[in-house]
Homo-oligomer: A and B are copies of this chain.
Amino acid sequence: MQNKIQGVYLVTDRPLCIHHRLEDVVRLSANGGVSLVQLREKETSSREFLELAIHLKKILSPFKVPLLINDRVDLCLASGADGVHLGQTDLPWFVARKLLGDKAIIGLSIETKEDWGNLQKENPNLTLDYLAVSPVFDTKTKTNTKPAWGLAGVQWLRERTTLPIVAIGGIHLDNAKDVIQAGANSLAVVSAICSAKDPKLATESLRNLF
């Protein structure tokens, strides 16, 4: 809860890294001023996922850029990563908080207004570091997502929480400014950086909007 979440947030996707290897995308993005990196791996063994996390943590440490792990609290603990990003079907956030301790960064995806309502009900002592509005716009990167929130959705959540809001889904340079104006503290992107010919420039361009 001491962590300030803002700026450009890179979510990794190895198949989308078409011009550079993932580790190079991450390094170049750190050079471009990325604020946070989330390692997301869906089809990988635990062993390979762990090795990748340890490798990225080493790359990011000199930049003081936190590394988050998608879903896997054990791999966060084992790799020395800084926290986890949780979806609605991952471990409950308060369980992750218990296992990871106070200093870990824990973020939660909010996919519907109902998710927000349930969160309000389940625990008044909300020790989350950010909420991720997901997806803001329709996107091909993630399948099975709920209907897009749109800019109005970002505003809707902004009016209801003081927690940092990370916006994710279909964000690129052309619509990023609008999302910030709607109330997002941080912009999470996948393909806009992973698939960029110049991930450093792609990160800088987004960062300059803040």
Task: Tell me the bound Cα distance from A90 to B75 in angstroms.
Answer: 10
Interface of A is mostly: helix
* A89 on the B face (CB < 8 A): yes
Q: Would you call B90 and A46 a contact (CB within 8 A)?
A: yes
Q: Enumerate chain B residues within 8 angstroms of A72, measured Cβ to Cβ.
A: 46, 74
Q: How many residues of A contact B (CB 8 A)?
A: 19
Q: Which residues of B contact A75 (CB under 8 A)?
A: 74, 91
Cα(A203)–Cα(B73), bound, Å? 35
When distances are taken between beta carbons in the complex, the residues of chain B under 8 Å from A73 are 74, 77-78
A90: chain B residues at CB < 8 Å are 45-47
Q: Which residues of B contact A88 (CB under 8 A)?
A: 47
The answer on a CB contact under 8 Å between B89 and A50 is no
Docked pose: A72 CA to B71 CA in angstroms = 11
A45 close to B89 (CB less than 8 A): yes
A contacts, CB < 8 Å to B? 45-48, 50, 71-75, 77-78, 88-92, 95, 99
Question: Can you identify 18 A-B contacts, CB atoms within 8 angstroms?
Answer: A45-B89, A46-B71, A46-B72, A46-B89, A46-B90, A47-B89, A47-B90, A47-B92, A48-B89, A50-B95, A72-B74, A73-B74, A73-B77, A74-B74, A74-B75, A74-B77, A75-B91, A78-B99
